[in-house]
Each structure stands twice: as structure tokens, then as C-alpha cells.
Amino acid sequence: MATKFSNSVNFLCLFSFLSLLPYADSVSFKISRFDPTLSSIIYQGDAKLAVGTVEFNLVNYINRVGWATYADSVLLWDSETGRLSDFTTHFSFEINVQNDPIYGHGLCFFLSPVGSQIPPNSAGGFLGLYNTTTSDSPSNQIVSVEFDSFENPEWDPYGIDGHVGINNNSIASAVYTPWNASFHSKDTANVFITYNSTTKNLSVSWSYFTTTNPRENSNISLQIDLRRVLPERVMIGFSAATGKYVERHILKSWEFHSSLEEVGTDGRTARRINILVASAVPVSVLIAGTVIAFIIWWRWQQGKRKTAETTNLASINNELERGAGPWRFSFKDLVSATNNFSEGRKLGEGGFGAVYRGYLIDLDIAIAVKKISRGSKQGKKEYATEVKVISQLRHRNLVQLIGWCHERRELLLVYEFMPNGSLDYHLFGQRIPLTWPVRYRISLGLASAIFYLHEECEQCVVHRDIKSSNVMLDSSFNVKLGDFGLARLVSHELGPKTTGLAGTLGYLAPEYISTGRASKESDVFSFGVVLLEIATGRKSADLREATETGLVEWVWDLYGEGKLLLAVDGKLKQDFDEKQVECSMITGLWCAHPDSRSRPSIRQAIQVLNLETAIPTLPTKMPVPTFHVPPISFISKGLVLNYSSSEAGYY
């Protein structure tokens, strides 16, 4: 009976897992003011902030280019389904010709491949998008809408001075209409660009506050199938350029909305498998009978647990309400804040529940609400642990618990919202790469958080799940370590404690896998792996792939060969401090040493990262653990074990 039940449960778990369709939200944002805290805009060239606006060019110099682009990529079309996105963008800008009779060159909105950079020699009439060798090249894949203030006779319409045009992978406009920049100088233009995926029509319209010219046309359109011109994912933004003559280009506001939501590869496979599973009627009948028998037994057990759980939650309520820390929220408030926990507000989902973005109007703050899945028994244990642990902690590098809610059989935690999400998204996702100074500051911030947990708390806190997806980033890319659901309080004097295996494969110390004893040393090991991820841009090994070389082993091999810098993330394009990078990676290897006795304390690691003490000399070959490490099939039977850094969610 037990064997049949176990097999049935495994089958049902597989069915439930395959039914999940992971997707990435369509892109939607609105920026009414460009502030220094705004991390979603990337500036290149001359572009810079200027009192709530973006100033693109230095007008005291000639031949200048500036870019301002959105940090996230946009899914424009889906190669498997052929679906094409609708999108609308609305922006306002000003061109100031500064009363000069001759001026140039203009501003444009563009879509281009992710990772595009300002081309060399692209100032002047090339508007920062092309040069003499790249215009009309199929490899460019650029579509733009240009407000071109200077006539270049080589490619611009003859005899009309300036124009508004739609450009299809060329500096020459496919369609255009006359437009005079000096007539509208210093006035604010409002521009709407829309794309209809059904009619394949790209349309542009614009208007001015005070300088409307009835003789000027104020709209153009082009029928174009963007699937034939642009890649699936694109970056969006603005480019402006000056040449021999100059003018000021100022972006004042920008909003963008797209419609296409991406269904991941796993989701597509899941849909096909679900059809096969649903057709297996005889198997379903057998499973149903087994499940009914289990439900009878389960209800009997549940009755025994219910009283204990109620007592435990009541105890948590009493403890929190007596304290001066987190607030108690009503379920109604959190439903309103998260738009009834809508899918569009979901930030992430793990084995124990989901996290939703919300906004509390009364407090005027953005929040992240962690909603524990009702069916997750372990989730309830994690919830109780997280509440008890994190409510006692106060540190600038820890995610702040704002409040909690136990109502209507729901368990919810309310955290401060981290607008830049988790570190793994920036290291391994589609975002613009983090610069090395930002990465180094993140490393030090994470180390500071761990030092607080290990050394400065009244009781030592062993986190047990330090990984890049649990390293959150605020609007200034300051570190906030989160997810204390697996954390344990231990005495500073007693040391390691047998807790049962939990955490994420790829970040677990060898001795922890073997013994189940969590310790400060096992946390330091996880920290070392994250340091290596930050420097290399490579994920910790996915242990489901038996042939894959682990991150630690790969970096250690390069260290032994004297080629450590070959491991540095190629997205940094050699723009980094070699001393800091070397220090960071060697410290990462030191922390991830297979022998826990050879690892540093977090205090020692911080001293090396701050270059206060000498960088250690490590063995040229990675040492081998001297105790038995069980196979993955054995490990996977543990109570709480994840296979990837992204599964556990955001907080």
C-alpha cells in the first residue's frame, strides 16, 4: 500500500509540476521624471541626467552622440508560435536650436538587438545608429523613428531641411514628412508610436504645446512585419547626435507598453505532456482510487496536527504584537495592494509559495508580499521560522520585514520592495551587465550581511540558503539578503548543528551534504560560490547535468594554471580592476574550499576583500573532500532541496 501510494503521489506531483506555465510579463512602464534613483534607464555616450530630464549631447563640442535605453529587453515576437507583440510608446522631448541659423542633427526612438552599443563614427547625420559601413547592412537589425533636423543630401529627402521619418535598417527614411526643428525650438513635443501586430502597421503621431503648424503633417505610418527585420528580443531607447553644427536634445518623459507574454520552453513541453497525461483514463482511475484512500488517512492525521498549528500561529501573533517591529496587516489591505494577487503582479514563485508586488496607499510604500501556499506543510514551517528569525534582525544589508498577516487560512509576509530584483537576474538574465564597481560593492554588502548574522546577532544565525537569487538589490543596487525560511538560530559557543539537509544544490558545502550539519562554515562556502558567480557571470553547476564542470572546480583549474583572469565575465569587456577581480575570485575559492577547516571566517574574508590583509595562496589543484558524499539520487530525498538558484523565489 505504501509503495503504491508513493508511486501515485510522485505521478501526481509530476502532473502538477508540468501544469505550471512559467512566463515573463509583457513590458510596461511609465517614467514622468528621470531621477538619479531610476535604475531602469541605461545611459551611453554623452547622455546624462539634467534636473528630471535626459540631456543627450554636450553642446559645447561638435560630433557628439548620446543614448538612453531601457534596462530590460522586450519580447517582440515568439519564434515557436509566430506571435507578434503589439506595442505603444509615448514620450515627450524638446529640441533647442539656440537661435542658430544652422543646427543639427536630431533625435530618434529605436529598436535594436539586445546588447547594442553606439557605433564608432556615428555622429552627425547618422544620429548615433549607423556609420558609412553599417547603413543598410542586414546585420544591423534596427528600426527607428527619427526627428531629423539637418538635411544630409547623401540620404535625406531633398530640399525640405528637416523631416520626421520611419527608418527600416537604413539611415534613409522609408517614409517621411517635412518637419522644421527651428519652428518648434524649445517647445515640448508629445509623440505616440504604436504597432499593430494584426495589420503590421507602425504609426507615428506628434503634437506641440504652443507651436502647432497647420501646414505641417503630424503623422506617418509604415506597414512592416517586424519579425522579418528584428530579432525576437530587442532593446528600446533613444539616440541623439550633433555634427559640425549643434543643438540641444532633451527627453522629458517616456512610457512603453507591450502585449506579448513569453511562455517558457518548459511550459510549451508541459502543455504537450498534459494532453498525453489527460488521455490516460485507466491510469487516472487507478490514481483516483489511491488518492481517495489517502485522503481518508490524511484527514485523520490532519485533525491531530490542526490544534498544534493553531497554537503555533497564535504564539507567533502574540510574540510579534508585543514587539515594536513588524506591523499586522489585514488580508483585505494586502488583497487591495496586490490587485487580488494577480498574475501580473507576481515577482516569483518557489516550492512554498509566491511573491507579489504591491503598493500600500496609506503608507505610500511599495511592498513585496510573500504568500505561503496552503498545500505546503514545509512552507508553514518556513513561515514560522522566517517570522521568528527575521523579526529580530535589523541591518542595512538585510531585507526588512514590514509586516505580516494570518487571516482566512492565509499566511503572508510583507517585505520592502526591491526594485532591481535579485542578483541572479542581473548576472544571468537579459539585463544590461552590471559594471565591476557595482559587482564589487555587492560582494562587500553581502559579506557585511553575513558578518552581522554570524558575529553581531545575540544568537548566531545560520542562513542555509545563501545564493544569488536570494541577494536582492534596491534602487541603488545596494545588497539586501533575503529568504530566511531555512535559517536557524544557534549558540555562538555550540557551533554546528544537525538541521537536516536544505538549500540549493550548487551552493551546498560538501560536509553539509554528507552530514546534514549546518554551520557558519557552510554559509561561508555558499558565499564563496556567489563571489565566483559575480566575477564570472556563470551559474553554479546544475547538478542535474552530470557532465557539467562545477563553477568552483572550473575557476580553481584556471587559478592553478595561472590564468585566473580568463574566468572573468566576458560581458565586462575587460573594464575592471584586475587587483579587485583577482582578490574577489581567490577569496571566493578560499571560502568554497572543500575542507571546512581551511575556509576563512566571514570576518577574514571581508579583510581580504577590503585589501586589508594579504590574498591567501591556495593549492594549485582543488582539494578533494575526505568524507563520503552521497549520490544525487540520495540527496534529492531530502526534506528541502532546490536544484537551481531561481526556483526558490525572490524573498
How far is the C-alpha of 143 from the C-alpha of 237, rounded, in Å? 11
What is the SS3 string spanning 392-416? CCCCCCECCEEEEEEECCEEEEEEE
Residues 6+ apart with CB under 8 A from 245: 62, 100, 102, 103, 104, 105, 150
Phi, psi for 64 (deg, rounded to 5):
-120, 155
Q: Strand pairing partners for 241?
A: 65, 106
Backbone torsion region of residue 458, taken as left when φ is above 0, otherwise alpha when ψ lies between -120 and 50, otherwise beta? alpha
Phi, psi for 392 (deg, rounded to 5):
-95, -5
Point out the annotated binding site.
371
**Options 465, 483, 523, 569, the catalytic residue:** 465
Q: Are 247 and 96 in contact (CB under 8 A)?
A: yes
Check if 557 is active-site: no
How far is the C-alpha of 622 from the C-alpha of 627, rounded, in Å? 15
Q: Which amino acid appears at position 370 of this protein?
A: K
Which is it for the CA torsion 392, 395, 399, 403, positive or negative? Answer: positive
With CA atoms as reference, report the closest residue to 461 among 499, 416, 508. Answer: 499
Q: Is 566 exposed, middle or buried (0-12, 13-18, 19+ CB in 10 A)?
A: exposed
Phi, psi for 630 (deg, rounded to 5):
-65, 155
How far is the C-alpha of 461 from the C-alpha of 465, rounded, in Å? 12
Point out the annotated binding site for ATP.
371
3-class secondary-structure state, position 532: helix
Torsion of CA 536, 539, 541, 542, to 10 degrees: -160
Q: Residue 531: enclosing H or E segment and its boundaries?
A: helix 520-536
Q: At what angle do helices 602-609 and 436-451 cross, to 10 degrees?
A: 150
CB count in 10 Å sphere of residue 337? 24
Catalytic center residues = 465
